[in-house]
Amino acid sequence: MKKKNAREFDAASGGVLPVQMLRGLCAQKRIAADTPMRKEQFQPSSIDLRLGTKAYRIRSSFLPQRGTVESTLKELVMYELDLRGGAILERENVYLIPLLERLALPRGVRGRTNPKSSTGRLDIFTRVISDHTPRFEDIREGYEGGLYLEVVPRSFTIKVRTGLSLNQLRLFSGPPGDSVVEDSQLMNIHNHKPLVYNAAGKIPEPEIRGGLTLGVETHTDAPHRVIGYKAKKNSAVIDTSRVGKYRIHDFWETIESPREKFLILEPEEFYIFASKERVRVPMDCAAEMVEFDAGSGELRTHYAGFFDSGFGDGGVRGTKAVLEVRPHDVPFRIEDGQLFFKLRYEKMAAVPLFGYGSGIGSNYHNQGLKLSKHFVMD
């Protein structure tokens, strides 16, 4: 039998690494930090990344394709902030924050990062960059080095501090693309146990085209029903470590079901909506929200687009997805049920020890239309 190189990774099959494998990599110091990892960082198929002790206000975004992040950073730094006691990040400014975690990935293991749900719902634009990498969010196979988070608050000025998690990391084994669940497989999964339900809990015919395609909810028969939110500008600072401390009306305008059959979104405004359907992610899969179609309109339909194993599963008939929406350039008309985004399902390398919302705290398990965890109903 061929002896496995110490740099190689032994997974039962290719796909997204589950929590037990992530913990194993931490025990091997493949994922490490000077500050001990916390139990709550581990999700069923991802791990939360934490802000380090400093933030740098920089002149522009960048990608260090031919060098290290630190060497390029020196050319762009305007000033430095100490995050240990908390610091203010101003709206529309660009910051770079070294993360506490660093990687020494085995051969055959690569990574991808996404903003956490709360980050996207606060309209905080974030992307991870790493050394010698031409793409945001992607961590190349066998990467050794630090991780850095680009942060741009769009709607609100925010306060952050060391140890806060704004992003999460997924790791994959096997060749790129092998983990994606093809459409025929996705239909087979749905036929065995539904992946999508309508508002009444019935099973609709799924729209599967390069993933599970889903729509936006803009109408309800209930009177004065809120179907969305629009961010107010020039509001107070949001301390991202304070959960359930802010009143919705201080930061958001509510949007009720329109009298017409459509709703017009204004360019460069930020909106929160919910999906028309309720979705399920099986325990042997994870899912990522991806653009439906580059030709479907000049708007961005999400910032935080990752769904851990077990989302909408385990005793509930699916869970709504929350959509972060920003039209560009021109006003954009939407109507109830309009196809807006799709979920790309990915195979797990093994079934995780627990699912989303079970065994761990979750602010968005079995959610409907919901703002980030920082807000309470007025």
Domain boundaries, given as residue ranges, for the chain: 15-173, 183-376
- With 80 as the cut, is the pLDDT of residue 304 above it? no
Asked whether the predicted pLDDT for residue 9 surpasses 60, the reply is: no
Q: Identify the residue with better confidence: 327 or 252.
A: 252
For residues 120 and 273, what is the distance between their CA atoms, to the nearest angstrom? Answer: 12
Q: Express each pLDDT in 53-91 by its tens digit.
A: 999 999 999 999 889 999 999 999 999 999 999 999 999
Looking at residue 6, what is its pLDDT?
38
Check whether 105 has a pLDDT greater than 50. yes
DSSP letters, 19-61, are: HHHHHHHHHTTSEE-SSPP-GGGEETTEEEEEB-SEEEEESS-
15-173 — its CATH code? 2.70.40.10
pLDDT-derived band at 3, boundaries 50, 70, 90 = very low
CB 102 within 8 A of CB 26: no
Query: What are the pLDDT digits (tens) for 210-255?
Result: 999 999 999 877 656 899 999 998 899 999 999 999 999 999 999 9
pLDDT over 50 (residue 7): no
**Who has greater pLDDT, 261 or 360?**
261
Give Cβ neighbours of residue 228 (< 8 Å, ≥ 6 apart).
218, 254, 255, 263, 271, 272, 273, 274, 369
Q: ∠ CA 279-264-223 to the nearest 5 degrees? A: 65
Q: Is the pLDDT of residue 102 over 60?
A: yes
pLDDT of residue 62: 95
Question: Fold match between 15-173 and 183-376?
Answer: yes
Residue 98 structure tokens: 């070294």
Which residue from 217, 219, 222, 226 is spatially nearest to 256, judged by alpha carbons? 226
Structure tokens at 215: 């729509």
Please give the average per-residue pLDDT across 255-282, as a whole number: 92
Average pLDDT over residues 281-293: 86
Rounded to whole angstroms, how far apart are CA atoms 11 and 16?
A: 10
Helix or strand or coil: residue 132? coil
Around Cβ 302, how many Cβ atoms within 10 Å?
21
pLDDT > 90: what percent of the chain? 73
Does residue 178 register a pLDDT over 90? no
Q: How confident is the model at residue 199 (pLDDT cuts 50, 70, 90)?
A: confident
Distance (Å) of CA 331 to CA 232, 258, 286, 326: 18, 16, 34, 10
Report the range of poorest mean pLDDT among 35-39, 70-74, 301-305, 326-330.
301-305
- In this prediction, residue 361 carries a pLDDT of 53
State residue 258's pLDDT score: 87
Q: In this structure, which topology does domain 183-376 adopt according to CATH?
A: Deoxyuridine 5'-Triphosphate Nucleotidohydrolase; Chain A (2.70.40)
Centroid of chain to Cα 3: 38
Question: Largest alpha-carbon pair distance within the chain?
Answer: 70
pLDDT of 73: 94
- The phi, psi pair for 372, rounded to 5°, reads -65, 165
- Look at residue 222 in the predicted model and tell me its pLDDT: 64
The pTM of the full predicted model, rounded to 2 decimals, is 0.92
Q: What is the mean pLDDT of residues 272-295?
A: 86
- Using a pLDDT cut of 70, give the percent of the chain over it: 89
Query: Which of 323, 275, 328, 272 lies closest to 299, judged by CA?
Result: 328
**Averaged confidence pLDDT in the chain:** 89
What are the phi and psi torsion angles at 70 (to 5°)?
-65, -40
pLDDT at 244: 94
